[in-house]
Structure 1
Amino acid sequence: MRMPEPRAFWLDEQFDREHGTDGRGRYEAEVFRRIDEFADTWGDFAPVAFAVTAWRLATELSPGFVRWHRRIISATCARSPWDGSLVCAVTVASRWPAELTWTKQWQRDRGWQDWPRLFGQFTTPTEEDQTRRPHLRALLQVEAPVPLDDLPPTPDGPDDEVAAAARRAVAVLARELNDLLAPMIGQLDAGVPADS
C-alpha cells in the first residue's frame, strides 16, 4: 500500500481569517499595508512581477500565510533575468548523502551530528552545540520554472482588486510548488530508496 504524499506547501486560510482585523484576513491587510511594493508591477502584461511580490509578502508574515513542510528551509520566487519567466528556489533539509552513510570511517570518532530537531522541525545547532561537536547538515537546492498558466492578470493599479489577485497568485504558486516538491519530500521522509 502506497502512503499518501505529504503537503509541501499550503495556505493557512484558517489562521489568516482568525487573526485578521477589520473584516480582513492578515494577508489582505498586509497587501494593503505594503501596497507601494506592487507599484512597479501595475499594468504589466506578464503576471510574474506581481506574483513574485505577492509571494514575498505572504512568506514574510510571521507566521506565514504560506506554510511549508518542516523539511523546507526557504522558498523564494523571482523573475528570471534570462527570459522574464517565473522561477523558484527552494532549500530542503536532507539526510546525509549515501556516500557518507555507508561507513562511519570518515567521522574519525568526532561525533558528527546531523540536523538537530525541535518538535520535529529541522533547526540550526545552538551556539553551545557548535562548541561541543561538529555538525553536517545536508541541503538540497531546488531551482525550477513555475508555470504561468493559472496566475491572475496583474492589476492596473492600487484601486483594482489587488488583494484578491495577490491571494490568487499565492494560491497558484503554492499549488504548483506543492505539485513539484511533494513527491521529493515524501521520498525524503520515507528514508528508503525509491522503487526501480
Structure 2
Amino acid sequence: MKTETKFIVLGMLTIGCKTGYEIKKLIDTSFSYFWKMSYGQIYPALKKLVDESLAIVIQVDGDPLERKQYEITEKGRGKLLQWLEMPVLETGIQRNEFLVKLFFGRHLSLEKVLAHLDMQKELLKAKQVIFMEIEKSIFEQKESDDTPYWLYTLDYGKRMNETALAWCEDKKRAILERRNRVGSKKRTTINNEEC
C-alpha cells in the first residue's frame, strides 16, 4: 500500500468521514479529478491505521448494518501533520490514454484523430459540469476552515480542464490546417505532372 493512501484516508477522518463508504463517496465527488482510490485501497488502509494506533474503531449502537466507524487518534493527527508538512518533490504523473494514442497518431486516419479529439472535448465539457456541481455543493455546506482549501484545489482542476479544452480546440484547428496544406501540395504535384 502506498504511503499516500494511508495519509489520505487519515485526512478524510479529520473532515467528518467515518466509514469506508463515506471516504469513497467524498473521493469520487471531490478528489476524482486529481486522485482516484478504490475500496480495495481504502479498507486495507483503515485496517493499517487501526493496527498502527493512528485511528480507532467506534461501535455505533443501533446501526442495523453494523458498519465500522473510524476516528483519528492524537497519534494519527501527529502523523498526518508530519506527512502534510513534508515537501512534495514531484509534479505528479498522469496517465492519459488519449495522449498515448495521439502520440502514435500517424498510424490513424485524420478522421479518427479528429474523432478522438472531439471525444476528449465532450469528456472535458462533462467534467466542467461536475466541477460546477462540486463548487455548488461546497457553497451549500456550512463554511469551515477546510472550505477555502477545497476551493483552491477545485480551482486548480477547473483551470487545468479549461486549458485542456482550449488545447483540444487548438490541436483540431492545427490538424485541419495541416490536412489542407498537405492536400493542396498533393494537388499541385499532380497538376505539375500533368503539364
Q: TM-score with structure 2 length normalisation? A: 0.28
Which has the larger Rg? 2
Which has more helix, going by share of residues?
2
TM-score by length of 1: 0.28
Higher strand share: 1
Structure showing greater relative contact order (alpha-carbon pairs closer than 8 Å, 6 or more residues apart): 1
